[in-house]
Structure 1
Protein backbone atom coordinates (compact mmCIF):
# COMPACT_ATOMS: atom_id res chain seq x y z
CA UNK A 1 0.00 0.00 0.00
CA UNK A 2 1.25 3.47 -0.77
CA UNK A 3 0.26 6.75 0.91
CA UNK A 4 -2.34 7.55 -1.73
CA UNK A 5 -4.10 4.21 -1.15
CA UNK A 6 -3.74 4.65 2.62
CA UNK A 7 -5.39 8.08 2.46
CA UNK A 8 -8.14 6.80 0.17
CA UNK A 9 -8.96 3.96 2.57
CA UNK A 10 -8.89 6.10 5.73
CA UNK A 11 -11.11 8.68 4.02
CA UNK A 12 -13.70 5.93 3.42
CA UNK A 13 -14.14 5.28 7.16
CA UNK A 14 -16.96 7.16 8.92
CA UNK A 15 -16.44 10.52 10.65
CA UNK A 16 -12.78 10.88 9.71
CA UNK A 17 -10.68 13.96 9.08
CA UNK A 18 -7.22 14.43 7.63
CA UNK A 19 -4.34 16.72 8.48
CA UNK A 20 -0.72 16.72 7.42
CA UNK A 21 1.45 17.35 10.47
CA UNK A 22 4.40 16.02 12.46
CA UNK A 23 7.03 16.34 9.78
CA UNK A 24 4.76 15.86 6.78
CA UNK A 25 2.93 12.76 8.04
CA UNK A 26 -0.55 11.83 6.86
CA UNK A 27 -2.60 11.93 10.08
CA UNK A 28 -6.14 10.55 10.22
CA UNK A 29 -8.54 11.26 13.07
CA UNK A 30 -11.98 10.18 14.16
CA UNK A 31 -13.50 13.17 15.89
CA UNK A 32 -10.31 14.80 17.23
CA UNK A 33 -8.55 11.53 18.12
CA UNK A 34 -5.76 10.11 15.95
CA UNK A 35 -6.30 6.56 14.70
CA UNK A 36 -3.75 6.25 11.87
CA UNK A 37 -0.53 7.87 10.72
CA UNK A 38 1.18 7.45 7.38
CA UNK A 39 4.80 8.48 7.72
CA UNK A 40 7.82 8.30 10.02
CA UNK A 41 9.29 5.56 7.87
CA UNK A 42 12.96 5.07 7.18
CA UNK A 43 14.26 5.45 3.64
CA UNK A 44 11.69 5.83 0.88
CA UNK A 45 9.42 2.98 1.99
CA UNK A 46 5.99 3.94 3.35
CA UNK A 47 5.26 3.29 7.03
CA UNK A 48 1.88 3.15 8.73
CA UNK A 49 1.12 3.46 12.45
CA UNK A 50 -2.14 2.55 14.14
CA UNK A 51 -3.63 1.85 17.56
CA UNK A 52 -4.15 -1.81 18.49
CA UNK A 53 -5.65 -3.96 21.18
CA UNK A 54 -3.18 -5.18 23.77
CA UNK A 55 -3.28 -8.69 22.29
CA UNK A 56 -2.58 -7.46 18.75
CA UNK A 57 0.17 -5.18 20.04
CA UNK A 58 2.05 -8.16 21.49
CA UNK A 59 1.35 -10.34 18.44
CA UNK A 60 2.45 -7.74 15.87
CA UNK A 61 5.49 -6.75 17.92
CA UNK A 62 6.85 -10.24 17.21
CA UNK A 63 5.87 -10.31 13.53
CA UNK A 64 8.31 -9.39 10.77
CA UNK A 65 7.71 -5.94 9.26
CA UNK A 66 6.06 -4.52 12.39
CA UNK A 67 7.46 -2.69 15.42
CA UNK A 68 6.18 -0.56 18.29
CA UNK A 69 5.31 2.82 16.75
CA UNK A 70 7.99 5.47 17.23
CA UNK A 71 7.10 8.16 19.79
CA UNK A 72 3.72 6.63 20.67
CA UNK A 73 4.66 3.17 21.96
CA UNK A 74 7.55 4.69 23.92
CA UNK A 75 4.89 6.54 25.93
CA UNK A 76 3.15 3.29 26.84
CA UNK A 77 0.48 3.52 24.17
CA UNK A 78 -0.50 0.40 22.21
CA UNK A 79 0.52 1.66 18.78
CA UNK A 80 2.24 -0.43 16.12
CA UNK A 81 4.04 0.64 12.98
CA UNK A 82 4.12 -1.36 9.77
CA UNK A 83 7.53 -0.29 8.49
CA UNK A 84 8.17 -3.00 5.91
CA UNK A 85 5.04 -4.00 4.07
CA UNK A 86 6.65 -5.87 1.19
CA UNK A 87 5.31 -9.23 2.35
CA UNK A 88 2.13 -7.89 3.97
CA UNK A 89 -1.14 -8.02 2.02
CA UNK A 90 -3.08 -4.75 1.83
CA UNK A 91 -6.05 -6.59 3.38
CA UNK A 92 -4.04 -7.15 6.56
CA UNK A 93 -3.25 -3.45 6.91
CA UNK A 94 -6.87 -2.57 6.10
CA UNK A 95 -8.00 -4.85 8.92
CA UNK A 96 -5.71 -3.15 11.45
CA UNK A 97 -6.63 0.36 10.27
CA UNK A 98 -10.32 -0.51 10.60
CA UNK A 99 -9.72 -1.91 14.08
CA UNK A 100 -7.79 1.21 15.07
CA UNK A 101 -10.68 3.38 13.91
CA UNK A 102 -13.10 1.23 15.94
CA UNK A 103 -10.94 1.25 19.09
CA UNK A 104 -10.46 5.01 18.98
CA UNK A 105 -14.13 5.68 18.23
CA UNK A 106 -15.17 3.55 21.21
CA UNK A 107 -13.11 5.88 23.40
CA UNK A 108 -15.33 8.82 22.45
CA UNK A 109 -18.23 9.77 24.68
CA UNK A 110 -21.53 8.03 23.88
CA UNK A 111 -22.96 11.45 23.01
CA UNK A 112 -20.15 12.11 20.50
CA UNK A 113 -20.51 8.60 19.02
CA UNK A 114 -24.24 9.19 18.54
CA UNK A 115 -23.62 12.64 17.06
CA UNK A 116 -21.17 11.16 14.52
CA UNK A 117 -23.26 8.06 13.82
CA UNK A 118 -20.55 5.72 15.13
CA UNK A 119 -20.95 2.30 16.74
CA UNK A 120 -24.75 2.43 16.63
CA UNK A 121 -24.89 -1.25 15.69
CA UNK A 122 -23.25 -2.08 19.04
CA UNK A 123 -26.13 -0.55 21.00
CA UNK A 124 -28.63 -2.49 18.88
CA UNK A 125 -26.71 -5.72 19.45
CA UNK A 126 -26.73 -5.11 23.21
CA UNK A 127 -30.50 -4.54 23.17
CA UNK A 128 -30.99 -8.00 21.61
CA UNK A 129 -29.03 -9.74 24.40
Structure 2
Protein backbone atom coordinates (compact mmCIF):
# COMPACT_ATOMS: atom_id res chain seq x y z
CA UNK A 1 0.00 0.00 0.00
CA UNK A 2 1.28 3.46 -0.92
CA UNK A 3 1.62 5.83 2.04
CA UNK A 4 1.26 8.97 -0.16
CA UNK A 5 -1.52 8.19 -2.63
CA UNK A 6 -2.05 10.67 -5.42
CA UNK A 7 1.29 12.41 -5.03
CA UNK A 8 3.99 12.32 -7.65
CA UNK A 9 7.36 13.96 -8.26
CA UNK A 10 5.87 16.72 -10.40
CA UNK A 11 4.29 18.50 -7.41
CA UNK A 12 6.29 20.80 -5.16
CA UNK A 13 6.30 19.45 -1.64
CA UNK A 14 7.23 22.61 0.27
CA UNK A 15 6.14 26.21 0.02
CA UNK A 16 8.66 29.07 0.29
CA UNK A 17 6.17 31.43 1.98
CA UNK A 18 6.47 30.31 5.63
CA UNK A 19 10.13 31.36 5.65
CA UNK A 20 9.23 34.87 4.51
CA UNK A 21 6.40 35.10 7.05
CA UNK A 22 8.84 34.01 9.74
CA UNK A 23 11.25 36.76 8.66
CA UNK A 24 8.71 39.50 7.95
CA UNK A 25 6.86 39.40 11.24
CA UNK A 26 9.90 39.81 13.55
CA UNK A 27 11.40 42.47 11.27
CA UNK A 28 8.14 44.43 11.39
CA UNK A 29 7.89 43.98 15.16
CA UNK A 30 11.45 45.17 15.73
CA UNK A 31 10.91 48.19 13.53
CA UNK A 32 7.63 49.07 15.23
CA UNK A 33 8.96 48.43 18.74
CA UNK A 34 12.06 50.57 18.40
CA UNK A 35 10.52 53.16 16.09
CA UNK A 36 12.77 52.40 13.11
CA UNK A 37 10.35 53.40 10.38
CA UNK A 38 12.13 51.92 7.29
CA UNK A 39 12.58 48.59 9.06
CA UNK A 40 8.93 48.60 10.16
CA UNK A 41 7.66 49.39 6.66
CA UNK A 42 9.91 46.76 5.07
CA UNK A 43 8.83 44.13 7.58
CA UNK A 44 5.14 44.86 7.08
CA UNK A 45 5.63 44.72 3.30
CA UNK A 46 7.44 41.38 3.54
CA UNK A 47 4.85 39.97 5.93
CA UNK A 48 1.87 41.19 3.90
CA UNK A 49 3.29 40.01 0.60
CA UNK A 50 4.01 36.59 2.09
CA UNK A 51 0.49 36.28 3.43
CA UNK A 52 -0.90 37.22 0.01
CA UNK A 53 1.36 34.62 -1.62
CA UNK A 54 0.26 31.91 0.80
CA UNK A 55 -3.42 32.71 0.25
CA UNK A 56 -2.98 32.61 -3.52
CA UNK A 57 -0.91 29.42 -3.47
CA UNK A 58 -3.49 27.62 -1.36
CA UNK A 59 -6.23 28.57 -3.80
CA UNK A 60 -8.25 30.99 -1.66
CA UNK A 61 -7.58 33.93 -4.01
CA UNK A 62 -7.58 33.98 -7.79
CA UNK A 63 -4.62 36.38 -8.06
CA UNK A 64 -1.93 37.50 -5.66
CA UNK A 65 -2.69 41.13 -6.49
CA UNK A 66 -6.19 40.99 -5.06
CA UNK A 67 -4.98 39.17 -1.96
CA UNK A 68 -2.28 41.81 -1.52
CA UNK A 69 -4.89 44.58 -1.70
CA UNK A 70 -7.01 42.89 0.98
CA UNK A 71 -3.99 42.40 3.25
CA UNK A 72 -3.14 46.07 2.67
CA UNK A 73 -6.59 47.11 3.88
CA UNK A 74 -6.07 45.13 7.08
CA UNK A 75 -2.65 46.74 7.61
CA UNK A 76 -4.07 50.22 7.07
CA UNK A 77 -6.90 49.50 9.53
CA UNK A 78 -4.38 48.32 12.14
CA UNK A 79 -2.25 51.43 11.59
CA UNK A 80 -5.29 53.70 11.84
CA UNK A 81 -6.23 52.01 15.13
CA UNK A 82 -2.73 52.69 16.46
CA UNK A 83 -2.96 56.35 15.46
CA UNK A 84 -6.42 56.62 17.03
CA UNK A 85 -5.26 55.03 20.29
CA UNK A 86 -2.16 57.25 20.58
CA UNK A 87 -3.66 60.00 22.78
CA UNK A 88 -4.95 57.47 25.31
CA UNK A 89 -1.55 55.84 25.93
CA UNK A 90 1.73 56.93 27.44
CA UNK A 91 3.69 55.28 24.62
CA UNK A 92 3.94 57.14 21.31
CA UNK A 93 1.93 54.93 18.99
CA UNK A 94 1.34 57.47 16.21
CA UNK A 95 4.70 56.97 14.40
CA UNK A 96 4.18 53.22 14.49
CA UNK A 97 0.66 53.64 13.18
CA UNK A 98 1.82 55.93 10.39
CA UNK A 99 4.48 53.38 9.39
CA UNK A 100 1.87 50.62 9.24
CA UNK A 101 -0.55 52.80 7.27
CA UNK A 102 2.28 53.74 4.88
CA UNK A 103 3.21 50.12 4.32
CA UNK A 104 -0.44 49.26 3.78
CA UNK A 105 -0.76 52.09 1.27
CA UNK A 106 2.29 50.81 -0.62
CA UNK A 107 0.82 47.30 -0.69
CA UNK A 108 -2.53 48.65 -1.86
CA UNK A 109 -0.88 50.62 -4.67
CA UNK A 110 1.11 47.54 -5.68
CA UNK A 111 -2.03 45.39 -5.64
CA UNK A 112 -4.01 47.84 -7.77
CA UNK A 113 -1.14 48.40 -10.22
CA UNK A 114 -0.47 44.67 -10.45
CA UNK A 115 -4.12 43.93 -11.15
CA UNK A 116 -4.27 46.62 -13.82
CA UNK A 117 -1.05 45.70 -15.60
CA UNK A 118 -0.97 41.90 -15.22
CA UNK A 119 -1.20 40.78 -18.83
CA UNK A 120 -0.26 37.15 -18.19
CA UNK A 121 -3.46 36.37 -16.28
CA UNK A 122 -5.53 37.89 -19.12
CA UNK A 123 -3.77 35.65 -21.64
CA UNK A 124 -4.24 32.53 -19.46
CA UNK A 125 -7.96 33.22 -19.00
* TM-score, length of structure 1 as denominator length: 0.28
| The structure with more strand, counted as a fraction of residues | 1
| The structure with more helix, counted as a fraction of residues | 2
Which is higher, the Rg of structure 1 or of structure 2?
A: 2
* TM-score, length of structure 2 as denominator length: 0.28
